[in-house]
């Protein structure tokens, strides 16, 4: 079933005759185009893309990407936008006899909403949430292939830079080397600015790389990913420069065990909250529960962080085709932090680990 057909089914259930899309990621998912100024209108029979570009310049997506863009051929009408946009939109809505118009509430600013309300008098604006995002949660084979390749590029990039990590190298240097290798490996770029932290700074879950220099005995935390054909990867590895202490080894293995137990239980039909609880209970029983300060993982695809989320508030049922991260961490103020993160694909009976699993013991560089 095409993406647009699935979206229309969801719209029908919500009694939304027309939906205005303003989120470039959702528009790109459906159409193959992702201009920041593009707007799409979806009805029960029509799909229109409004763009400030000259229509003749849009062309077709590269042949290599058409398998990803399953909604492209359904966008039969690509129109040049006029300013203000309402001069283009209102005649179309009138012609289609549409008076109720859904919009993406999470992607429309308050000021823009007021502008829409002012110019669309006589139309009822209906806020919607997750209509396209929920479709994006389950990946098709082409999407999975893109994610696999992104993971391979990210892992190869890390392998190439590890030999350059030595005493006195700065966090920012490691981040720069990683980004260079990711692009060199064939990715469009990093999925997000890499997180690189040394020593006590590893106790901050998401710190920005600084000019801190690496010292012997320091913990090293690297959280990185690549974008390949618009799909993201997200991984984390922890290391120590030199010989690991008993405490470092112990905390690392607690995380490895928590991650392993959680991955083993991931399967269709189980709630996200239950997977989070499996890992969190292991960490808590070891006395470090209050130092695990974030959810266990999240969905990933065209965005690094997308639904569903492996956390205590998310009761979403896991489905085949979802791609998730599993990333337990322990962060001790003044001492340091350790996190490991892998990516898994939910299958019919369980899950497949897409990345090379984090090693069972804390790696020493």
pLDDT of the chain, 365 residues: tens digit per residue? 588 999 999 999 999 999 999 999 999 999 877 677 889 999 998 998 888 766 555 545 444 344 444 444 455 577 777 778 888 899 999 999 999 999 999 998 899 899 989 999 889 999 999 999 999 999 999 999 999 999 999 999 999 999 999 999 999 999 999 999 999 999 999 999 999 999 999 999 999 999 999 999 999 999 999 999 999 999 999 999 999 999 999 999 999 999 999 999 999 999 999 999 999 999 999 999 999 999 999 999 999 999 999 999 999 999 999 999 999 999 999 999 999 999 999 999 999 999 999 999 999 99
Asked whether the beta carbons of 134 and 299 are under 8 A apart, the reply is no
State the pLDDT at residue 72.
Answer: 47
C-alpha–C-alpha distance, residues 89 and 40, integer Å = 10
Its pTM stands at: 0.91
C-alpha–C-alpha distance, residues 103 and 84, integer Å = 18
Which residues, in sequence order, are CB contacts of 110 under 8 Å at separation 6+?
none
C-alpha–C-alpha distance, residues 27 and 20, integer Å = 10
Domain with CATH 3.90.230.10 in the chain: 141-353
Q: Is 359 helix (H, G, I), strand (E, B) or coil?
A: coil
SS3 content of the chain, % helix, strand, coil (to 5): 35, 25, 40
State the pLDDT at residue 78.
Answer: 75
Distances (CA, A) of 318 to 25, 129, 137, 303, 314: 23, 19, 10, 18, 11
| Fold that domain 141-353 belongs to in CATH | Creatine Amidinohydrolase (3.90.230)
Cβ-based burial of 329 (10 A; exposed 0-12, middle 13-18, buried ≥19)? buried
| Fold that domain 3-136 belongs to in CATH | Creatine Amidinohydrolase; Chain A, domain 1 (3.40.350)
C-alpha–C-alpha distance, residues 238 and 253, integer Å = 11
C-alpha–C-alpha distance, residues 165 and 159, integer Å = 11
Helical residues (DSSP H) of 32-140, grouped into ranges: 55-58, 86-95, 110-119, 133-136
- CA dihedral over 56, 62, 63, 65, signed as positive or negative: negative
C-alpha–C-alpha distance, residues 92 and 80, integer Å = 13
Domain with CATH 3.40.350.10 in the chain: 3-136
């Amino acid at each position: 079933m095409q993406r647009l057909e699935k979206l229309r089914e969801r719209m029908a259930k919500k009694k939304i005759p027309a939906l205005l899309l303003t989120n470039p990621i959702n528009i790109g998912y459906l159409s193959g185009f992702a201009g920041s100024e593009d707007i799409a209108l979806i009805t029960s029979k029509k799909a229109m893309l409004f763009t400030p570009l000259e229509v003749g310049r849009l062309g077709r997506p590269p042949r290599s990407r058409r398998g990803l863009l399953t909604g492209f051929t359904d966008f039969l009408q690509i129109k040049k936008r006029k300013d203000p946009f309402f001069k283009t939109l209102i005649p179309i809505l009138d012609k289609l006899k549409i008076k109720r118009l859904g919009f993406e509430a999470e992607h429309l600013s308050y000021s823009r909403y007021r502008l829409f309300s002012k110019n669309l008098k006589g139309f009822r604006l209906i806020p919607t949430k997750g209509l396209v995002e929920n479709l994006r949660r389950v990946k098709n084979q082409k999407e999975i292939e893109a994610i696999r390749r992104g993971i391979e590029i990210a892992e190869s990039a890390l392998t190439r830079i590890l030999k350059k990590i030595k005493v006195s190298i700065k966090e920012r240097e490691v981040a720069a080397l990683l980004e260079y290798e990711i692009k060199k490996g064939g990715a469009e770029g990093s999925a997000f600015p890499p997180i690189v932290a040394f020593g006590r700074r590893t106790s901050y879950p998401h710190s920005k790389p600084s000019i801190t220099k690496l010292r012997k005995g320091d913990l090293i935390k690297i959280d990185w990913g690549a974008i390949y054909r618009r799909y993201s990867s997200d991984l984390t590895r922890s290391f120590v420069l030199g010989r690991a202490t008993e405490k470092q080894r112990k905390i690392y293995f607690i995380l490895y065990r928590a991650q392993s137990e959680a991955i083993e239980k991931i399967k269709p039909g189980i709630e996200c909250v239950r997977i989070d609880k499996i890992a969190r209970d292991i960490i808590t029983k070891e006395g470090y529960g209050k130092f695990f300060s974030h959810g266990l993982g999240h969905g990933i695809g065209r965005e690094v962080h997308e639904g569903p989320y492996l956390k205590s508030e998310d009761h979403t049922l896991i489905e085949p085709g979802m791609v998730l991260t599993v990333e337990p961490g322990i962060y001790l103020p003044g001492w340091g932090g350790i996190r490991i993160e892998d990516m898994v694909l939910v299958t019919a009976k369980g899950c497949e680990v897409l990345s090379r699993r984090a090693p069972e013991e804390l790696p020493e560089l």
